[in-house]
Structures are given as structure tokens and as C-alpha cells.
Structure 1
Amino acid sequence: MQANYFVKKRIQSGLILGVLLLVTYGAMILTEFDFIKSVQSIPEAIKWGVTNFYPDAKSLEKLPNIWEKLLETILISIAAATIAGALALLFAILGSNTTRVNVFFGTMARGVATLFRNIDVAAWALILLFSFGQSSLTGFFALFFVSFGFLTRAFMETIDEVSNSSVEALRATGASYFSIVVHSVIPSSLPPMISWLLFMVETNIRSATLVGILTGTGIGFSFDLYYKSLNYNAASLVVLTIVATILSIELISNYVRRVIL
């Protein structure tokens, strides 16, 4: 019986692998992708990057403008994450199995979170371009919507994992719903929620570069402008500042997590 089970699993795995290979091969044919040629082009690409994609003395003159755009991107990313976090906390309380008011509000909160979370930030940016045009507001809302969906789901799971036993204990004593939320749910869930919020800030800063290219704002727009004007030295300086910023914020986030967790 057990031998038949493993044979069946191997057959299923083989069929799935075969389908994936067929889909991959079909995609390569449709897109005219040449795998061998792409591998052979790697050394040439590395050579081009080494000889062209590096900051020089002239590109350093653009550093103040790059820093200004980078600061704009960081502030928008933080604002989108923190405002989304505050709203996500409300929806998480309504949607959590531990604290939901009723099934209707719980289902509605989970549905809204799923909708916002599953639409990619680039898709949100393109959708919002029709309403707000190329502006910082478009980038903010694109990051906000994705942050809201992700944090709502993360906060729901945090409340269910951390606060279940304490909530049951307070309910047994006859505590009101408001008292349970304020004195049990929020205090016990706050450290992991802050950790999720910091993670969202890091993610937003990474995503903001792509959003900036689409919306014509922030550090993404600076990179797009320099790259399309063939100013590769300045474009490489933008990339280096983005990498340095992401690494710095990650170090700060890790330190905060060690302190609060």
C-alpha cells in the first residue's frame, strides 16, 4: 500500500515537472528566447558594466540632487507604511478570528486585505496614473495600498497567534470588548507588529525605485533620466546610493527588532 502511494506521488511529480518544462519551452519559443546565446553574453555584459557603469568625478556633482530625490523616496515610503499600518491595525482587529465583532466584518476585512495585497505595486502605480498622473501622490498611494493589504494580513495572524489566550482569560472575567483590545490585544501584539512595519518600510524603499520610474518621481525617476540619457556614471551613482540606503535601513531595523523582541 505504501509502495503504491510513493509510486503515485512520483508519477504526479513527474507529470507536474513535465508540464512545467513544456510551458517553459513554449514560452521560450513564443518570446524567441535563446538560452545558449544569453549565457554566452554574460561575460560581455560584465565587461560593459565594469567599463561603463561606475561613478566618476563629474557624476559626483549630481550627488546633492540625488540625495534630495532619495530623501523624497524614503519619506514617501515611511509615510505610506506608517499610515497603512495604523489603518491595517483597525482592519486586523475587525478581521481577526480572536477579536472580530461578527462574521460579516471579519469577512469584509479579510477580503479587502486580500484584494489590496494581491495586486502588485507596479499594477497599482499604472492604475493610479490615470487618476493622479505622474506625481508623488501616485507613488504614495501605490505603496500605501500594497502596504495596507500586506500589514492587515500580517497583523491578523499576529493577533491570532499572540493574543488568543489572554483574550479568552479577559472574556472569562467579563471584560468589555474595548478593554480587551486596549489592555490585551494591542500591548501583546505591538512588538511583532512593529517588526512587520519595519519590514514594510524596507520593502517600500525597494519598491519605490520601480514606482518612481513609472510615476516620474523620486530616486527612480533620477535613475531613469540618467540611464535614458546614456549618463551611465550618474545612473550607477544612483544605484549605489539606493543600495547603501537599503543596507543602512536594514541594519537599523534589525537593531530595533533585537531591542523590542
Structure 2
Amino acid sequence: MVSIDPQKNHENPFKFNWFSAAIWTLIVGYVVYSFNAMGLTWERFAEGLGHADKLMGRMFPPNFERWELLLSGLAESLEIAIIASFVGIILSLFLGLFAARNLMPNWISIPIRGLIALCRTFHPVIIAILFVKSVGFGALAGILTLIVASIGFIAKLFAEAIEEISLKQIEAIRATGASFISVIIFSVMPQVFSRFIGFSVYQLDSNLRNSTMVGIVGAGGLGGTLFSAFQRFDYDFVAAILITIISIIMIGEYLSNIVRRIFK
């Protein structure tokens, strides 16, 4: 007969955790300190809302009279995003294969993973500034920036997707005496192709947004037109540019959903 300790039955299931309480106290204390250190006050927020109201009043109604300049910047942004996405996706396909630890030895996968991590280290705006200083103002700097950003995202996820595949299919293909290329084409790619398409579509959508952002620092595209409009205090034209950017992003999101359904 098993004896039951009555003290254990009455043990409090919600015991106070001093370690967890200390961690939360430190987090809350640091947040309060950060608010005070940066001078974040409700009065400052309310004053900012007043300035924002004046800004919105000057932005509407939007001015589409310079539609030729708007379309020119938009076309360049689309070209930057599409070219960078195409090149970045192709490079990421090979880099992702070489970075997969279940396919490659460490002396190959570790350096490639280091390169991918380096591409992911900096924000696209910082990379764009470096390329603008290197190759000059214009679309080339934007394309190179987004290629680096694409590699940092897609190659990493693609390598991780390959590392999660079933090795039984690889062993079956190898047992037939197939070459390494045949193993990749007939065993690895069928298992990760749908995920790779999803990563690529997401990156194209991301590059459409970033192509306007990097233009602010001189890397071509609609961002340069937007920055110039801000400098001229031409806020009604700024509103027209912002509406155009939002429309393009929404269209891109709609098309990406269609592509995902097709390759799902």
C-alpha cells in the first residue's frame, strides 16, 4: 500500500519564483530608465501629434501633376528590385547548397555560412551607403545592396531547409550510383523546392519595399525622388509618392499570394 504524504498534497502549485521576479524587475527598471534617459514624455508626444497634424494638412490632397517623374522613379525601383531578386536568388541557391552541413564537409560549409552571416549583419541602408561610396550614385548601388540583402536572407533559410530534409531519399539515389548533381536534382530539390519558392517570393516582396528605401541615400529608385520632394517641402507630391509605393506593395503582396498558392 502506497502512503501519501499530506504535506505534498497541500504544496502550493504557484510558488513564487524569486529569480523570475528579479529578471522582470530588471527589465521594467531598464525600460523606465531608458524612457527617462531619452527624454520620452507625454508632452513631447502630444506636441509631435500637433506637428503631424500640420504635416498631414500640407500633404493632402496629393499632387500627381508630375506623374512622369513619379513613373520614372517607380520604373527604376521595379527594375532594381527584379534584377537584384533574380541575381540574389540564383546566388542564394548555390550558397545555400554549399552551406548545408548535411551535404558538405565543414571546410566548405563553415566559410559559406560565415559569408551568409556577413551579408545579414548590416541593414540595407548601411550597405547602400557603402556601395554608393564605392560605385557612385544610381541604380547599380541599389542592385548590389539588394543582392547582398537577398543572399543574407534566402541562402540562410535555404540551407536550414536542406538540413531538415529526409536523408533516406538521398541514400536511395546514391545507391543507384548517381552523381552528386543528380542527387541534388532528383533528391534534394524536390524536398525543398516549394519552400525555396516561398522564400524567393517573400524576398522579391521585401526588395520592392527596400528598393524605395535605399534610394533615399542615393542608390537609385523612387526613394531618391521621395527624398528630393522632402527637401523641397513639396509635401503634396510626397503624398503622391507614398500612395504609389503603398499601391505597388499591395499589388506585390497580392501577386505573391497567388504564386504561393500555385507552388504550394
Q: Could you tell me how far 1:217 is from its partner in structure 2?
A: 2.1
**Residue in structure 2 matched with residue 256 of structure 1 by the alignment:** 259
In structure 2, the CA distance between the partners of 1:66 and 1:55, relative to structure 1 (3 Å rule), is farther
Q: Which residue of the other structure, out of 86, 95, 100, is the alignment partner of 1:96?
A: 100
Report matched runs for 1:137-216 at 5 Å.
137-215=140-218
Give CA deviations for 1:82-135 in whole Å, capped at 9, x if unaligned: 1111111111111112322x1111101111000101211011011112211212
**1:109-164 deviation line (CA, Å, top 9, x unaligned):** 11100010121101101111221121211111111111111111011112122454
Structural mapping, 1:231-242, within 5 Å: 231-242=234-245
Correspondence for 1:48? 54
Determine the structure 1 residue equivalent to 2:42. 36
Matched residues in 1 for 2:184 and 2:253: separation? 31
**SS state at 1:61 partner:** coil
More helix, by proportion:
1
Q: What SS class does the counterpart of residue 64 from structure 2 fall into?
A: helix
Question: What is aligned with 1:71?
Answer: 75
Give the paired residue count: 253
Moved more, 227-236 or 244-253: 227-236
Structure 2 partner of 1:14: 25
Report the Cα distance in structure 2 between the residues aligned to 1:166 and 1:22, rounded to whole angstroms.
56
Contact 2:132–2:219 (8 Å) recurs in 1: no
Query: 3-state SS of the aligned residue for 1:98?
Result: coil
Match of 2:6 in 1: none
Post-superposition shift, 1:172?
Answer: 4.6
In structure 1, stretches of 5+ residues that fail to align are none
Q: Which amino acid aligns with 2:18?
A: V
One-letter amino acid of the structure 2 residue matched with residue 134 of structure 1: F
Q: How far apart are the structure 2 equivalents of 1:83 and 1:135?
A: 18
Deviation (angstroms), 1:237: 0.3
Deviates more, 1:13-22 or 1:205-214: 13-22
Q: Deviations over 1:187-210 (max 9, x none)?
A: 322221111111111111111222
The answer to whether 1:86 aligns with 2:90 is: yes
SS of the equivalent of 1:60 reads coil
The match for 2:135 is 132
> Identity of paired residues, percent?
25
Structural RMSD (CA): 2.2
Q: Given residue 30 of structure 2, which amino acid in structure 1 is its aligned partner? A: V
**Residue segments in structure 2 that go unaligned for 5+ positions in a row:** 1-10
Aligned equivalent of 2:248: 245
CA–CA separation in structure 2 for the residues paired with 1:254 and 1:81: 17
Residue type of the alignment partner of 1:203:
S
1:58-97 Cα deviation digits (max 9, x unpaired):
x322112211211110111121111111111111111112
Q: Distance in 2 between matches of 1:251 and 1:163?
A: 33
By how many angstroms is 1:170 displaced?
2.6
CA distance in 1, matches of 2:123, 2:23: 31
Partners of 1:121 and 1:211 within 8 A in 2: yes
* Gap change, CA 1:179 and 1:235, over 3 Å in 2: same
CA contact (8 A) 1:54 1:237 kept: no
Q: Which moved more, 1:2-11 or 1:201-210?
A: 2-11
Q: Distance in 2 between matches of 1:121 and 1:173?
A: 45
1:10-58: CA deviation from partner (whole Å, max 9, x where unpaired): 22232233234334433x1xxxx342223212542442244211244xx
